[in-house]
Structure 1
Amino acid sequence: MEVNCKFNTKCNTLSENNCPYRELIGGLMYLSVCTRPDISYALSQLSQFNTAFTKDHWLAAKRILRYLSGTTDYGLVYVKTGNLDISVYADADWANDLTDRKSYSGFVVKLGGSTVNWESRKQRCVALSSTEAEYLAIGDACKELCFVRNFMNEIFGKQFVCKVYSDNQSALRLLEVKEYCHRKTEHIDIRYHFVKDLIKNNNVITEYMSTEHMIADVLTKPLSRIKHLSFVKELCLQKLGL
């Protein structure tokens, strides 16, 4: 997507007969879920307009096709390293959506340095600050992290300690606060506070990572070409050399 691209529903919709928009989004969604995390954010945005799409949405969808046409030989690469460390990169873009002002969350789960899961979607509630948006993103990421961790614990019969990376130091400090509910967090849904238990039980270690190296950024907003391709490489999405 173009940098700073924003969509709204205040435009005239197109006829479904002229543009098979939903069919195109459905086909692209299959790629996004299976092997192409690099288009997840764009599809998460465009899929919200399946029943009220405009010319701008149609052109944005065709832009994804052109991008895929130039990267048809890209795929997720897994390398045998003997390293089974589990890590997750969580990020959020505050008040991203122009319609309801909800934020976007994105996370990437890596196992042994290889990408095994990812997600890009709009948050369920309105965040009152960027700190809160990042806090909610970490909570969503850790739910998926728990599944991967439990799966690995069952296979290998040992406890894995996972690392969670965020580029928001305020959200990380909020996780360090012992109280589960205080003046600044009493309005946050209680289900997002379970991360504190993971940290308390030494199941998860949180660490700061600068925005320049936060690969989950590609799942929360449109980026420049150079930055986008850099993060795509960090997602282990590379030319397969077939």
Structure 2
Amino acid sequence: MKNLWASKRSRPNFKTTMGFLTTCMKEPTEEDWHKLVRLMSFVKATVEDVSFIGADDLHSMLTMIDSAHAVHKKDMHGHTGSVVTMGTGVIDTKSNKQKMNTRSSMECEFVGTSEALPHTIFPNLFMEGQGYEIKWNVLVNDNVTEIKMLNNGRDSCTWNLKHITIKYFWVTDRIEDGKFVVQYCPTTQMIADFMSKPVQGQLFQTFRNVIMGWAHISTVFKGYICPVEPIEDSMRK
């Protein structure tokens, strides 16, 4: 529980591990124990690490959402990860098991976006309450099919997707209202991957540096530009 508190407050770089471990509280296995031991070794080796948060512009916000399909062995649920940033570090993160089973990776991504989007809406409303309207509010995704579903709604759905059209198209409504726009992001630049699945090697180092605020997001996501203009103009472009 101490690790869970730290991962939510100051150490988002091991929030993914905590997202998986907290699903094994009732019936932990020996494999789960080894995961915990490895996590504690990492925490001990990086106990002096400090995260930083900064904003390039108080009117701009970027959200990255990614989901891994059927990665939980016990019930084959997917896992959703998201990061919300204003340039340096992250102001909000999510790494949680999905609440329902999905039949494909695209469907898993679509459900994950619906579950994670409130983590963008709440900071958006908070900033507006402080007098800073978010004019550049962008959601990026690495699944082209999901982007079409988010933008087009039922027009991009076939008969076998009817079971998700009723509950999850509130995201499409917000896009049509001009609340935010959706853009494509290559998988190699999808920082939310860090929150949805285990990442290793150089990619782990790169994503961790951005999430902890040690490197600016533009070092990974090359398309990060914050034009301070009405979001309706961005949609027309």
Q: Pick from 106, 109, 112 the counterpart of residue 137 of structure 1.
A: 112
When normalised by structure 1's length, the TM-score is 0.81
Provide the residue aligned with 1:188 in structure 2. Answer: 164
- The CA deviation string for residues 156-191 of structure 1, in whole angstroms up to 9 with x for no partner, is 163534100111111001112243775243111634
Rounded to whole Å, the distance in 2 between the matches of 1:226 and 1:127 is 31
Provide the residue aligned with 2:90 in structure 1. Answer: 115
Q: Pick from 32, 40, 43 the counterpart of residue 15 of structure 2.
A: 40
Is 2:123 the partner of 1:148? yes
Q: Decide whether the 8 Å contact of 1:115 with 1:235 is kept in 2.
A: yes
Q: Decide whether the 8 Å contact of 2:61 with 2:86 is kept in 1.
A: yes
Q: Decide whether the 8 Å contact of 2:88 with 2:210 is kept in 1.
A: no
Rounded to whole Å, the distance in 2 between the matches of 1:230 and 1:49 is 29
Q: Pick from 101, 107, 118 the counterpart of residue 126 of structure 1.
A: 101
- The CA deviation string for residues 55-104 of structure 1, in whole angstroms up to 9 with x for no partner, is 32222111111111222222221245445411110000011111111100
Q: Pick from 132, 139, 163 the counterpart of residue 164 of structure 1.
A: 139
Q: Which runs of 5+ in 2 are unaligned?
A: 216-237
Q: Which runs of 5+ in 1 are unaligned?
A: 1-25
Q: Decide whether the 8 Å contact of 2:61 with 2:134 is kept in 1.
A: no
- The CA deviation string for residues 176-217 of structure 1, in whole angstroms up to 9 with x for no partner, is 224377524311163421111111011110011011011110
User: SS in structure 1 opposite 2:169?
Assistant: helix
Cα drift, residue 237 of structure 1: 4.1
Provide the residue aligned with 2:235 in structure 1. Answer: none
User: SS in structure 1 opposite 2:102?
Assistant: coil
Provide the residue aligned with 2:148 in structure 1. Answer: 173
Is 2:5 the partner of 1:30? yes
Q: Decide whether the 8 Å contact of 2:65 with 2:80 is kept in 1.
A: yes
Structure with larger Rg: 1
Rounded to whole Å, the distance in 1 between the matches of 2:52 and 2:179 is 28
Q: Decide whether the 8 Å contact of 2:16 with 2:95 is kept in 1.
A: yes
Tell me which amino acid in the other structure corresponds to 2:108.
A
Provide the residue aligned with 1:68 in structure 2. Answer: 43
Is 2:62 the partner of 1:87? yes
Please say which of residues 174-183 and 199-208 is displaced more in the overlay.
174-183
Seen in structure 2, the aligned counterparts of structure 1 residues 57 and 138 have a Cα distance that, compared at 3 Å, is same
CA RMSD between the two structures: 2.1
Q: Decide whether the 8 Å contact of 1:163 with 1:204 is kept in 2.
A: yes
Q: How many residues align?
A: 214
Q: Pick from 174, 189, 195 the counterpart of residue 198 of structure 1.
A: 174
Larger relative helix fraction: 2
When normalised by structure 2's length, the TM-score is 0.83
